[in-house]
Amino acid sequence: MRSDEVKQGLERSPHRSLLRAAGVREEDLNKPYIAVCNSYTDVVPGHVHLRHVADLVKQAIRDAGAVPFEFNTIAVCDGIAMGHSGMKLSLPSRDLIADTVETMVQAHKFDGMICIPNCDKVVPGMLMAAMRCNIPTIFASGGPMAAGKPVNGKATDLISVFEGIGAVKAGNMNEEELEKISCSACPGAGSCSGMFTANSMNCLTEAIGMALPGNGTILAVDPIRERFWRDAAIRLIEMVREDLKPRDFITRESIDNAFIVDMAMGGSTNTVLHTLAIADAAGIEYDLNRINELSGLTPNICKVSPSSAYHMEDVQHAGGISAIIKEISRVPNLLHGDAMTVTGKTLLENVENAEIRDAACIRPLKKAYSKQGGLAVLFGNLAEEGSVVKTAGVAPAMLKHEGPAVIFESQEDACDGILAGKVKAGDVVVIRYEGPKGGPGMQEMLSPTSYIMGRGLGESVALITDGRFSGGTRGACIGHISPEAAEGGVIGLVRDGDIISFDIPAGRLELKVSDEELAERRKTWTPPPRDIAFSWLKRYARQATSASRGGVLRIP
């Protein structure tokens, strides 16, 4: 066993002494040592119940004949961090999590690991670490939150609250009505109830082969979830004995599968950023053009909040991600159904008994929302290395658009400007210097996009940025523009009133300015100074790559 490096032999006598001090018994010295990588924290609603989850998991590991050792990672609640300088630390937390998990696993020579994530950056951070360490690993997330109680007959969620701010500012809602929504939107533990980034990533963990079926959709408060957590722990001990490791499952084909399922279910644009980073950690080169190839072949058969009134509990009742996988497998030569998974079975073997139980929530292929997937990558002179849009959340009238640029040099300026009425129908809002380097930290743009929706401009105004969006964003919002402004990208050369056009079906994003004029502008371009408040962000800004490469860190 790998753990013998810290517990067997004469030279490991001191190590055994320390292990005994930690509660290890003599009979435990010949058992597998299992890392229980937990992300419990009191401040994140998706994680407040994970202390209990870890206790269940550890007991199941003991019952299966192994020794559990729990440690914790950090976790940022993007909703609480939203709209102030804390959001700049959200994406960087992914890389901190990957580093800390790798540190614990390699320093203590664990034989296997069960990861208990839930919210946005924790899932990809742990996956990146799993790829680096490559010991038997299984994921068992905390599960999604139930939808909020209905207000005016409509189920609520966190996005209802964010969009309500814009509605109040526009005079379409009063503050008392907004507070009523605020009190109902988040009823308890779990990752926020729509197909936002956390739930998108937890669903993709099933598709990529690293979690048991149900990981992404069984509610955190559902009693079935407790059986799921125990089953995952027991299966991990079997994987340790079978020597099945993450790189046995994470391949170019399984990454294809993840993106195919993402497009079929209309997941968050952040999944592109994170899956590219996971591929990088696994040593797999994966090109943004491949995402467009897959999108052109993948029907969008499911829409969940913010793209519809459905929530994760509805997807679970409709058959879960397994039903989506099975239905999308009917498209000839698309899904890699023979990809192996942590169950010990192939992806298609896992879903052979799945069925769609609600054809309105998960549509059959013949009634798909569209013949193309819910994500698209756009290229052009404004995004030479690519940009990403969640097509599942774009109104048909905005799939093609052309309009004048209204420029903001930060998210904060954009929020103030939108709420002050500076953005009119037909405009293209440009938020720049918010990429991995420029922000730094590539903060999410949920507030400005929600304010646009709340002011009734969702079907007449577009927004482009070198930053990124929350999975809760909807509308014609194009993010991850690469190269970013801080790296000299063309988005940094745009001026107020310049005409910007995009054609999402054609995959194009263009600035209607000549090459000659752009060359002249570049001669006098300098990035605005940024007062970086946090020392960690200063290091992050020096090492972060563009979104087209997953925003991973590289030593310059």
**Which amino acids are annotated catalytic?**
470
Alpha carbon distance, N-terminus to C-terminus of the chain: 38
Preceding peptide of 246 cis, ω within 30°: no
Please list the residues that pair with 14 across neighbouring strands. Answer: none
Preceding peptide of 306 cis, ω within 30°: yes
3-state SS string for 442-508: CCECHHHHHHHHHCCCCCCCEEEECCECCCCCCCCEEEEEECCHHHCCHHHHCCCCCEEEEECCCCE
421: left (phi over 0), alpha (psi -120 to 50) or beta: left
Report phi then psi at 412, rounded to 5. -60, -45
Cα angle value 412/413/418 (rounded, 5°): 100
> In angstroms, what CA-CA distances link 336 with 281, 282, 340, 347?
21, 19, 10, 8
Nearest alpha carbon to residue 479 among 509, 457, 514: 509
Cβ contacts of 124 within 8 Å, gap of 6 or more? 94, 201, 274, 275, 277, 278
458: left (phi over 0), alpha (psi -120 to 50) or beta: alpha
Cβ contacts of 137 within 8 Å, gap of 6 or more? 112, 113, 114, 115, 130, 210, 236, 239, 245, 246
The residue type at 62: R
Nearest alpha carbon to residue 60 among 229, 194, 191, 201: 229
Find tokens 């009133």 and name the residue.
497
Answer yes or no: are the C-beta atoms of 232 and 225 closer than 8 Å: no
Answer yes or no: are the C-beta atoms of 350 and 242 closer than 8 Å: no
